[in-house]
Structure 1
Amino acid sequence: MSLPPPSYESFDYPIPDYTSEPRANEERLVYQQIRQSRGSDTRPTGVFVSRRDDITVVINYQEEETPTPVFGRKSNIEGTLLVDAPQSVSEITVKLTGVIEAVSPSTGYLSVNIIDQAHTIFNSGDEMPSQSICPSSLPFSCPIPSTFRYDGKEYLLPPSYYVLLGEQNQAYYARCTYQFSAVIIKARSRRTAFLGRNTKHNTFLLEYSPRSRPPRPVIDLSLLATIKERPEEWRQFSYQIVPKSGKYHLDSLTCQFFLPSVGIFGIRDAIPFHVQIVGSNNGSLAKLQSVLRTDKPLFRVHFLRQVAINKNGNKSAVHFPLGEAKLSPMPPVEGALSLLGQGNQLGQKQENMNWEGKIRCELEEKLAPSFNAGIVAITAFLNRSTTGILSDWYQMHNDGEKYR
């Protein structure tokens, strides 16, 4: 039985007029560009060319004049192989290899092959190519796997990277490199057959750069402007700040730390945050404020990058600073801030101090995104610590937040 189409004439309210740009009394909260559909090809149109030992390899879909071909997750290495004097060629193979290497004081030297695959694109079927002649131009396509196995576990293929694990004069490092090779075997004449196979190679590095997109853009508004209308955009962390001794007769304080709930950020994203210290009504926070200099911050918020190496359970880790935030003081609010659904167990009218700021990676050089490849793991941490008079009187339990 078919039903008649619905009628909207009975609605008491007019249908809203949608526009792509906000009106004078409207505000755009989030803007995210629509991704291209799978049917549209947005790959670069340039080529990378490598010529060595009479072998020319042309890699398609590269940026113009790129010194190294670049590929993303689930990519294919596509191109054409050009051969000089193809009449004597008996076999052509293209190879893709990947290796993780690390040297550290506690683990020593470590090398693990994560890719080792070969694809034969021509074979004459005989050492003397009398039955099959190799063409001078051969297309090829070599898929890049997205995972590898190590120590019985499966990991995502890590990006290309190189990082020093100590001072510049120390030979401690971790790196992951990928190579593409074209190997040609040429048949020799009967007179020179005793010399063995005549093999030529064209080998060059390629860059593997998988991208991890955040599920949505980072919110570009303050916590106080959005906590009521959009609490789902934030994530709340609470920490106890306890007195170091009973000398000053102080009670414990609570630190409320708010970060965007998206959890995954781009390397160059500016990440907003909000810090609140909440005290009891007996004046502990007021006593702290009375001796506080306005030009001296109470908190330090900074980025750290950890490079961890694991060799048969023997682990070592090195930390590098990535950036530090500048905190701006905010006026007190009505009691402790809390997201919807988490409750407010700290009371409604408590002394509080507030700061907000943004933090981002300040290094100019190119950085690999966070990953865990079993042998090597790179992780970014957002750390908070007390400074100034607050660190003299109190200590905070701080484990740091992990971000990708």
Structure 2
Amino acid sequence: MTTVTAILPSYSREPSSSVLPPCYSSQPHADEETVAYTPRVANPTPHGLFIREWPQATLVLEGQDEGSRQPTYGRAGRIIGELGVVNPEKVAKVTVKLNGQMSLSVADSGSVGFTLVAQTSVLWKHQLLEHVNRHDGSAVEQRCPSVLPIQFQFPSFYQAEGKDWRLPPSFEGTFLGIPAMFIRCIYTLEVTITRTRTYHLASWTTNKTYITMLNFRPRTRPQRPIVLLGSVLGSIKLVPEEWLQVVTTMLVRPKSNMKPVNCHLFIPSIQTFALTDTIPFHLQLCSTLQSLQELLPPTSRLLKLPNGDDERKVNDRWEEGGQTIRVTITRQVVVEIAGRRRFRTFLVGMGNMWSVPPIAHQDNNNSRDGVTSWADSKEDGVCLDWQGEVKVWAELTTGGFSASHLLVKV
């Protein structure tokens, strides 16, 4: 019995290499069948086409969502497609360039710019063939094909000031104010067609360049999923290593005769989330009843329940307009130019939260203005608890990243 061993070709990590790995697909071809299949939780790889038509050319890119306005690629993504040329008999040269630029500008500090990607590929160039025509002995001219293949690959890094940086995602931001900030990280695919024009005995060439924007979205996957077993407090007791406790103190004025409020926030310990993740949290405020009454309205049902009121209302979600305590997600954009750091911070997500029993309740035997702390708590150890979830708004399409002179945090 003879054993045949297939030897796979060697591939290079360099984007400029002519030998690229084949394009694999999770869907079987016409001559293939699926033996076993385990569905993935994540979105499947798109298999649609992105088509952009121009007067002299048509660009077709594979692996895109149907109806997408811009082609989207991930980390080290491969641009695979075709370029259809109109009237190819007069074409002298066809080039395609993958271009990436980052420009940063601050009103009081100046501006800087960096080239992120600059890859050029000559798809076709006019030349005379070596063999001679049999009839008249003249050299045979090569004619441009009507369809030309395109292959590019995004690099993983770019160089700036002698250091390697990860390629930043597509990002644009205009922040007015004092000082004004302008940020732009864009990627484009530029198609240049050179044609030969003749008139009587004169001939010349003309160039026409067509540009399409690319959406570069590198993803960073969390190390593990969020572990939530019922409530957050229940998960903390069962799997405490899956939760991170952040403690901070809200100080008071020195002459206020009140004690500070300690804030305990519990979030998943992975601290890396997808833009579509709903992040659970638990919030606890601990201080004296007097301090909490100053933080919350005295009539808040978290501090006082009228006699006969239904305690099940405690778990009702707050109306958004009535919240005095909120858990939000903010984004901070930091730009450093000429040794000066300028930043902007703005809201990108608002959380929903609801109170968790036990709560402060009314005690007719021992009350202060009709409000006391819990029966099992001391005056100096009153705590209020909330559970909730927070998620970034759908219009946010870029996570946090770090680049030269630019830092975006979420």
Query: Is the 8 Å Cα contact of residues 280 and 390 (structure 2) preserved in structure 1?
Result: no
The question of 1:314 aligning with 2:340 is answered yes
Once the two structures are TM-superposed, the CA of residue 171 in structure 1 deviates from its matched residue by 7.5
In structure 2, relative to structure 1, the CA distance for the partners of 1:104 and 1:358 (3 Å cut) is: farther
In structure 2, relative to structure 1, the CA distance for the partners of 1:171 and 1:278 (3 Å cut) is: closer
After the TM superposition, which residues 165-184 of structure 1 pair with which residues of structure 2 at under 5 Å, given as runs?
165-166=175-176, 172-184=181-193
2:18 maps to what in 1? none
Mapped to 2, the partners of 1:104 and 1:234 lie a distance apart of 39
- TM (norm. structure 1) is 0.69
Mapped to 2, the partners of 1:319 and 1:253 lie a distance apart of 25
Once the two structures are TM-superposed, the CA of residue 98 in structure 1 deviates from its matched residue by 1.0
1:191 maps to what in 2? 201
The alignment's C-alpha RMSD in Å is: 3.4
Query: Is the 8 Å Cα contact of residues 267 and 369 (structure 1) preserved in structure 2?
Result: yes
Mapped to 1, the partners of 2:292 and 2:77 lie a distance apart of 57
After the TM superposition, which residues 4-403 of structure 1 pair with which residues of structure 2 at under 5 Å, given as runs?
34=40, 42-125=44-127, 130-166=140-176, 172-189=181-198, 191-193=201-203, 195=204, 197-220=205-228, 221-248=230-257, 250=258, 254-278=262-286, 285-288=288-291, 293=298, 294=300, 299-331=325-357, 351-361=381-391, 363-380=393-410
Q: Which amino acid aligns with 1:153?
A: K
Unaligned runs of 5+ in 1: 1-31, 280-284, 334-347, 381-404
Mapped to 2, the partners of 1:129 and 1:175 lie a distance apart of 50
Once the two structures are TM-superposed, the CA of residue 181 in structure 1 deviates from its matched residue by 1.4
Once the two structures are TM-superposed, the CA of residue 209 in structure 1 deviates from its matched residue by 1.7
Mapped to 2, the partners of 1:278 and 1:200 lie a distance apart of 68
1:11 maps to what in 2? none
Once the two structures are TM-superposed, the CA of residue 158 in structure 1 deviates from its matched residue by 1.6
2:11 maps to what in 1? none
1:22 maps to what in 2? none
2:35 maps to what in 1? none
Once the two structures are TM-superposed, the CA of residue 260 in structure 1 deviates from its matched residue by 0.8
* 1:203-233, Cα deviation, whole Å (9 max, x unpaired): 2112112222222333444331112211111
In structure 2, relative to structure 1, the CA distance for the partners of 1:43 and 1:323 (3 Å cut) is: closer
Once the two structures are TM-superposed, the CA of residue 33 in structure 1 deviates from its matched residue by 7.3
Query: Is the 8 Å Cα contact of residues 102 and 174 (structure 1) preserved in structure 2?
Result: yes
SS of alignment partner, residue 76 of structure 2: coil
Query: Is the 8 Å Cα contact of residues 97 and 114 (structure 1) preserved in structure 2?
Result: yes
Once the two structures are TM-superposed, the CA of residue 126 in structure 1 deviates from its matched residue by 5.6
SS of alignment partner, residue 179 of structure 1: strand
Mapped to 2, the partners of 1:222 and 1:216 lie a distance apart of 19
Query: Is the 8 Å Cα contact of residues 105 and 181 (structure 2) preserved in structure 1?
Result: yes
In structure 2, relative to structure 1, the CA distance for the partners of 1:163 and 1:359 (3 Å cut) is: farther
Unaligned runs of 5+ in 2: 1-37, 130-137, 303-322, 360-376
In structure 2, relative to structure 1, the CA distance for the partners of 1:56 and 1:277 (3 Å cut) is: closer
Query: Is the 8 Å Cα contact of residues 222 and 272 (structure 1) preserved in structure 2?
Result: no
SS of alignment partner, residue 134 of structure 1: coil
2:309 maps to what in 1? none
- TM (norm. structure 2) is 0.68
In structure 2, relative to structure 1, the CA distance for the partners of 1:289 and 1:203 (3 Å cut) is: closer
Mapped to 1, the partners of 2:215 and 2:407 lie a distance apart of 18
Mapped to 2, the partners of 1:289 and 1:203 lie a distance apart of 59
Mapped to 1, the partners of 2:117 and 2:391 lie a distance apart of 31
* 1:348-379, Cα deviation, whole Å (9 max, x unpaired): 99824132233434645243211112233221
Mapped to 2, the partners of 1:289 and 1:179 lie a distance apart of 55
Mapped to 1, the partners of 2:139 and 2:96 lie a distance apart of 19
Mapped to 1, the partners of 2:384 and 2:149 lie a distance apart of 63
Once the two structures are TM-superposed, the CA of residue 61 in structure 1 deviates from its matched residue by 1.7
* 1:164-218, Cα deviation, whole Å (9 max, x unpaired): 2127xx975322211101222234559334x4x3222222112112222222333
Identical columns (%): 26
In structure 2, relative to structure 1, the CA distance for the partners of 1:286 and 1:108 (3 Å cut) is: same
Once the two structures are TM-superposed, the CA of residue 96 in structure 1 deviates from its matched residue by 0.6
Query: Is the 8 Å Cα contact of residues 107 and 180 (structure 2) preserved in structure 1?
Result: no
Q: Which amino acid aligns with 1:107?
A: S
Query: Is the 8 Å Cα contact of residues 79 and 151 (structure 2) preserved in structure 1?
Result: yes
Mapped to 1, the partners of 2:397 and 2:248 lie a distance apart of 31
Query: Is the 8 Å Cα contact of residues 274 and 354 (structure 1) preserved in structure 2?
Result: no
Mapped to 1, the partners of 2:39 and 2:167 lie a distance apart of 28
Mapped to 1, the partners of 2:60 and 2:348 lie a distance apart of 38
In structure 2, relative to structure 1, the CA distance for the partners of 1:53 and 1:364 (3 Å cut) is: same
1:27 maps to what in 2? none
Q: Which amino acid aligns with 1:209?
A: R
In structure 2, relative to structure 1, the CA distance for the partners of 1:354 and 1:202 (3 Å cut) is: same
Query: Is the 8 Å Cα contact of residues 354 and 388 (structure 2) preserved in structure 1?
Result: no
Mapped to 1, the partners of 2:201 and 2:64 lie a distance apart of 44
SS of alignment partner, residue 227 of structure 1: helix
Identify the range of structure 1 (267-276 vs 289-298) with the bigger mean alpha-carbon deviation: 289-298
**Displacement over 6 Å in runs of 4+:** none
Once the two structures are TM-superposed, the CA of residue 289 in structure 1 deviates from its matched residue by 5.1
Mapped to 1, the partners of 2:39 and 2:384 lie a distance apart of 34
Q: How many residues align?
A: 321
* 1:78-134, Cα deviation, whole Å (9 max, x unpaired): 111112232333322110111123333233444322111101122334699944332
